[in-house]
Chains A and B, each alone.
Chain A
Amino acid sequence: GNSVTQMEGPVTLSEEAFLTINCTYTATGYPSLFWYVQYPGEGLQLLLKATKADDKGSNKGFEATYRKETTSFHLEKGSVQVSDSAVYFCALSLTAGGTSYGKLTFGQGTILTVHP
């Protein structure tokens, strides 16, 4: 089956530190890959996406590259801010039987806390 595995958290960093959150996936086919962010008390928001191998998604200083050879989609940011404190979810989506329902499979989430 399809699955997404994220690095275990929580992750605690100081402001301006470098961030990496690892994400690997297992899929039967060629998925689209996503990172979602959930701020306290809110729903999930799409952070970035990549739809094919070697694509790089980027948004708000975050980046992730779709690596087919290692089945990975690691999230990185060069300098985190306190406002980046949130839960980050990696997810994949596959077509199904020729009709793209777009069902998302999520990882377990990684809690990021950034201290001043």
Chain B
Amino acid sequence: NAGVTQTPKFQVLKTGQSMTLQCAQDMNHNSMYWYRQDPGMGLRLIYYSASEGTTDKGEVPNGYNVSRLNKREFSLRLESAAPSQTSVYFCASGRVGSNYGYTFGSGTRLTVV
């Protein structure tokens, strides 16, 4: 089925470990986004990529890096995980243009101990 695929679905890390969250979309969307969801805080934008080859910081970029590998794939990397990064991470993609909504992946639940 067409959509946004995230891997892994669950992950437990120890403080200081690194990992990469993968995201791929097959809808030929230009824009891709990484959000984190925390209780009572809604979704907060970490990084986004308006098009292949470009990335920009969102509201909460500290402690994260991203790579727009090609038009389909947009990965999020935690270089040195901290307990404050325990969250649910969502990748989304959309067409360029504010009139369109996003398509979201099913999320990655990350726990840092």
In contact, A108 and B40 (Cβ under 8 angstroms): yes
* B42 on interface, CB distance cutoff 8 Å: yes
Query: Using an 8 Å CB-CB cutoff, how does the interface string of A25-53 with B read, 1 for contact, 0 for none?
Result: 00000011010100001111110010100
Chain B contact-residue range equals 20 to 34
In contact, A44 and B31 (Cβ under 8 angstroms): no
* B95 on interface, CB distance cutoff 8 Å: yes
Interface set of A (CB-CB < 8 Å, partner B): 4, 31-32, 34, 36, 41-46, 49, 51, 89, 93-95, 99-109
Residue of B50, B101, B105 near A101 (CB, 8 A) is: B50
Nearest chain A CB to B27 CB, angstrom units: 13
Q: Which residues of A contact B102 (CB under 8 A)?
A: 44, 46, 102, 104
Known: A101-B31, A101-B48. A43 touches B90 (CB 8 A): yes
In contact, A102 and B94 (Cβ under 8 angstroms): yes
Nearest chain B CB to A29 CB, angstrom units: 10
Residue of B42, B43, B101 near A49 (CB, 8 A) is: B101
Q: Which residues of B contact A99 (CB under 8 A)?
A: 50, 96
Nearest chain B CB to A97 CB, angstrom units: 11
Apart from the given pairs A102-B95, A102-B96, A103-B48, 7 other A-B contacts in the complex at a CB distance below 8 Å: A32-B99, A46-B102, A51-B98, A94-B98, A104-B43, A104-B102, A106-B44
Roughly how many angstroms separate A113 CA and B101 CA in the complex, as a whole number? Answer: 25
Roughly how many angstroms separate A115 CA and B73 CA in the complex, as a whole number? Answer: 41
In contact, B43 and A106 (Cβ under 8 angstroms): yes
Roughly how many angstroms separate A59 CA and B68 CA in the complex, as a whole number? Answer: 33
Roughly how many angstroms separate A100 CA and B50 CA in the complex, as a whole number? Answer: 9
Known: A99-B96, A102-B95. A89 touches B43 (CB 8 A): yes
Roughly how many angstroms separate A44 CA and B107 CA in the complex, as a whole number? Answer: 9
Nearest chain A CB to B37 CB, angstrom units: 8
In contact, A108 and B58 (Cβ under 8 angstroms): no
Query: Using an 8 Å CB-CB cutoff, how does the interface string of B75-113 with A read, 1 for contact, 0 for none?
Result: 000000000000000101011111111111111000000
